[in-house]
Each structure stands twice: as structure tokens, then as C-alpha cells.
């Protein structure tokens, strides 16, 4: 049996670099994951901090397995190691992309394909 569920996370506070220092759930899973195979679907994995937090939280819920898939990956920006990123669409440079659901200030999200935004 397959089940699709959603979480919503938000960062709050800031560290010395201006980045998010803490992560909290805005919306948690509706169904239990104990004993289930869980695949986390991410749009972009960058530093890995959010995915690391989510994986730590989910592991406490005793899934049978836990893996992640990401559309865009920037492994050279990782601040944490040992993320379960098993499937990667594209490894991309440290550039800003819009379209295909990615936006800049709520603009360009509706473009039918991915575009590199140049300054």
C-alpha cells in the first residue's frame, strides 16, 4: 500500500552567517510511519540542514527504511554528512534557478522548464 503525505518546515532565528539556526514543523505528517518504507521528496538539497533535521525526526518514528530523492542537488554545499539522498535528478552549480516550480519573489514559478537566472 502506498501513501502520500506532506510536511511543512520553517527555519527561524539566525546564526552568525545570517542563515537559519533552528527548524520547526508547521505541518506534520497525518499518518504514522512506523514500520514503513519512507521516501522523502525534496526540490533542492543544499546544506542538508533541513533534510538532516527531518531525517532525525523521522528516524525516531521507527520507519523500516528512510531515503530521499531530490530534483536538484548541490553536494559541495553540505554542512552535514551522511544524508540518505539515494536518487538525484541533477547535480547543479551554485546558481539560482527559476521555473518548473522554482521562483524568485513569487515570479517565474510558472515557467514550463528550468532557467538559470543571471544577475
Instruction: Please identify every residue annotated as catalytic.
Output: 46
Place of cell 542538508: 48
Q: How far apart are CA 115 and CA 102, in angstroms?
A: 9
Q: What is the Cα Rg of the chain in Å? A: 15
Helices (H), 1-119: 49-59
Q: What angle do CA 61, 67, 72 make, to 5 degrees?
A: 130
- Residue that is written with C-alpha cell 527504511 in the block: 65
Amino acid at each position: 500500500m502506498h501513501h502520500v503525505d506532506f510536511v511543512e518546515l520553517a527555519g527561524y532565528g539566525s546564526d552568525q552567517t545570517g542563515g537559519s539556526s533552528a527548524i520547526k514543523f508547521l505541518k506534520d505528517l497525518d499518518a504514522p510511519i512506523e514500520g514503513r518504507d519512507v521516501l522523502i521528496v525534496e526540490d533542492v538539497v543544499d546544506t542538508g540542514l533541513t533534510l538532516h533535521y527531518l531525517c532525525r525526526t523521522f528516524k525516531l518514528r521507527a520507519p523500516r527504511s528512510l531515503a530521499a530523492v531530490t530534483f536538484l542537488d548541490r553536494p559541495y554545499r553540505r554542512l552535514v554528512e551522511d544524508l540518505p539522498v539515494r536518487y538525484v535528478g541533477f547535480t547543479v552549480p551554485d546558481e539560482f534557478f527559476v521555473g518548473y516550480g522554482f521562483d524568485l519573489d513569487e515570479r517565474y514559478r510558472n515557467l514550463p522548464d528550468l532557467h538559470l537566472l543571471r544577475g
